[in-house]
Structure 1
């Protein structure tokens, strides 16, 4: 049986690897008793390094769609992990801060997230994994402007 050309196309392979990455994340984090998605984790991690960040900037910094970041934040608020307050400079903007529970959860699952990263690269040698990550970063940067949610780390 022959394999179609798509089986070796970058987009198809990236989609397959993303499916595996999400599955591994949910498995590791769920096994430890946490109910978080990769996007929710990314939001927690970014809010931790940028306390008081607004939702639009958060979306840009984790390369997530601005139209749906509100739902992600709402779920984190409902779980008691994030506090959403009104900005003193712009009453329309919502400032985000981790709660004490949010900080605890973020710290607790950090080793699990690291384990997921190792499992994603399990079929590769250490050197191959390092090269793959560098190449993925390079490709993601080169195509950033074509994304429906481009990464913007300088949005303040």
Structure 2
């Protein structure tokens, strides 16, 4: 009987490195932004709401790669901090439209430079051309497997 688990080298598995890169990205973000009390998902949600004021919950969830029930908790926390408000959609009473508050915009303005620094630090070991190629390849993987995630394909 073969034992496929024997001597399996994690350093040959892309999923292992994907998880490790995610760990690094989160750790660097936390070092740069952690004292502001905004998680990476809260940041991406606030950024998206500020980019698209009046966005509905489903569109926001798709934009940041979360399901609608999980994103509801994220929005709850942002709303509790006074960073966003939810209003009933005039065209669909079941839908809630999310809009940033002035405080939300102010917090985002303070977060962005620090978040960008975390991104720079993540990519620092790569040459400039490698950085672009790394991001391009990650987009290829995400787009090719869109049906497995909450984010629709960009095609």
The superposition leaves residues 92-117 of structure 1 with CA deviations (integer Å, 9 ceiling, x where unpaired) of 11110000010011111111111111
Whichever of the two has the greater Rg, that structure is 2
2:123 alignment partner, one of 109, 121, 124: 121
Unaligned runs of 5+ in 2: 1-6
Look up the match of 2:59.
Answer: 57
Shift in Å, 1:20:
1.0
Show the counterpart of 1:29.
33
Distance 1:130 1:7, change over 3 A: same
Give the aligned partner of residue 84 of structure 1: 86
Determine the C-alpha separation between the residues in 2 that align with 1:104 and 1:150. 28
Distance 1:153 1:141, change over 3 A: closer
Tell me, in whole angstroms, the C-alpha distance in 2 between the residues paired with 1:34 and 1:21. 17
Paired residues of 1:60 and 1:152 also in contact (CA < 8 A): no
The whole-number CA distance in structure 2 between the counterparts of 1:103 and 1:151 is 27
The CA distance in 2 between the partners of 1:151 and 1:107, in whole Å, is 28
Structure 2 matches for 1:63-82, cutoff 5 A? 63-82=65-84
Q: Please, what TM-score do these two structures have when normalized by structure 2? A: 0.89
What is the root-mean-square deviation in Å for CA atoms of aligned residues? 1.7
- So what's the TM-score if we normalise by structure 1? 0.89
SS in 2 for 1:64: coil
1:107-118 equivalent positions in 2, closer than 5 A: 107-118=109-120
- Answering whether residue 138 of structure 2 is matched by residue 101 of structure 1, we say no
Cα shift at 1:152: 6.2
**4+ aligned runs moved over 6 Å, structure 1:** none
Secondary structure of 1:92 counterpart = coil
Aligned length: 149
